[in-house]
Chain A
Amino acid sequence: MPSTLFHILLLLLMPPLLLGVINKTKAAFAGRVGAPCLQPYYDLAKLLRKGSVFSSTTTWVFRAGPVVTLAATLVAALLVPLGNHPAIISFNGDMILFAYLFGLARFFTTSAALDTGSAFEGMGAAREVTFACLVEPTLFFILITLARMSKSLSLTPMLLYPSPAVWGEAGAAMLLLVGALFIALLAENCRIPFDDPTTHLELTMIHEVMVLDHSGPAFGLILYGAALKLFVLGAVFVNLALPFKSGNLLVDWAAFAAAMLFLAVLVGVVESVMARLRLVRIPQLLVAATILSAFAMLLIVR
Chain B
Amino acid sequence: MVFVWNIDVDPVGSLLWAIVLIGLIGLPGLLLKRPGPGQLLSVCITACAALWGMAGALRILGGAPASRYLFDWPLPFGPCELSVDPLSALFLLPLLLAALCCSLYGLAYLPAAAQPAAEKRVTLFSGLLLGSMALVLVARHGVLLLVAWEVMALSSWLLLMTDQQNLQVQRAGTVYLLATHTGSMALFVLFGLLKGESGSFAFPAAHSLALGGTVTLVMLVAALVGFGAKAGIMPLHIWLPGAHANAPSHVSALMSGIMLKIGIYGVIRTVSFFQELPVWFGWLVLLLGAVSAVTGIALASVQSDLKRLLACSSIENIGIICIGLGMALVGLQSGNRVLAVFGLAGAFIHIINHALFKPLLFLGSGAIIHASGTRQIDRMGGLSRVLPRTAPLFLVGSLAICGLPPLNGFVGELFLYFGAFTDGMFSDLPLIGFVAPILALVGGLAVITFVKLFGAIFLGTARDPGPAHGHEAPAAMVLSMGLLAGLCLLAGVGAPLLLQLVAPVVIQYAAVSPQLFAQISGAVPLRQIALLNGLLLAGIVAVWLLWRVLVQRAPVAASGTWGCGYLAPTARMQYTGSAFSELLGGLVSGLVGSRGRLSGLSGLFPASSRFAGATTERILDLMIMPSLRGADWCLAWLRRMQHGHLHLYILYVFATLFVLMVWSQP
Contact = CB atoms under 8 A, between A and B. Distances in A.
Interface of A: 48-59, 61, 63-64, 66-68, 70-72, 74-75, 78, 89, 91-94, 96-97, 99-101, 103-104, 106-107, 110-111, 114-123, 125-127, 129-130, 132-141, 143-144, 147-148, 151, 153, 201, 212-213, 216-218, 220-221, 283, 290, 294, 297, 301
Nearest to B404: A104
A71 B436 contact: no
Contacts of A111: 451, 454-455, 459
22 contacts: A49-B554, A53-B558, A71-B543, A104-B404, A107-B398, A117-B382, A118-B561, A119-B579, A122-B579, A125-B451, A126-B581, A127-B583, A130-B584, A137-B444, A140-B439, A141-B436, A143-B436, A144-B430, A148-B433, A153-B421, A216-B551, A297-B424
Contacts of B402: 103, 107
Interface of A, helix, strand, loop or mixed by DSSP: helix
B556 A54 contact: yes
Contact of B404 (A93, A103, A120, A125): A103
B441 A104 contact: no
Nearest to A145: B424
B454 A116 contact: no
A291 B71 CA distance: 59
Contact of B561 (A57, A63, A67): A57
Interface string B411-439: 00010011011101110011001001111
B534 to A, nearest CB: 10
A123 B564 CA distance: 14
Contacts of A55: 558-562
Contact of A144 (B433, B557, B569, B573): B433
B331 interface: no
Contact of A123 (B448, B456, B575): B575
B620 interface: no
B602 interface: no
A51 B440 CA distance: 40
A138 B444 CA distance: 12
A179 to B, nearest CB: 17
Nearest to A61: B459
Contacts of B405: 97, 100-101, 104
A141 B437 contact: yes
Given A100-B405, A116-B561, A117-B459, A122 B539 contact: no
Contacts of B563: 118
A107 B447 contact: yes
Given A75-B532, A122-B579, A213 B562 contact: yes
Given A61-B459, A97-B532, A56 B558 contact: yes
Given A72-B536, A100-B405, A100-B410, A114 B451 contact: yes
Q: Which of A54, A68, A126, A217 has the most CB of B within 10 A?
A: A126
A71 B537 CA distance: 8
B359 interface: no
Contacts of A92: 523-525
B447 A93 contact: no
B539 A129 contact: no
A114 B582 contact: no
Given A59-B385, A123-B575, A115 B460 contact: yes
B527 to A, nearest CB: 9
B193 interface: no
B437 A56 contact: no
Contact of B559 (A53, A75, A96): A53
Given A57-B561, A104-B404, A151-B425, A71 B536 contact: yes
B580 A122 contact: yes
B582 A147 contact: no
A10 B130 CA distance: 58
B550 A126 contact: no
Given A67-B544, A114-B456, A119-B574, 18 more contacts: A66-B547, A70-B543, A71-B539, A89-B532, A91-B528, A100-B403, A107-B404, A111-B455, A114-B455, A114-B459, A116-B561, A118-B569, A125-B580, A126-B583, A137-B441, A144-B433, A153-B425, A153-B523
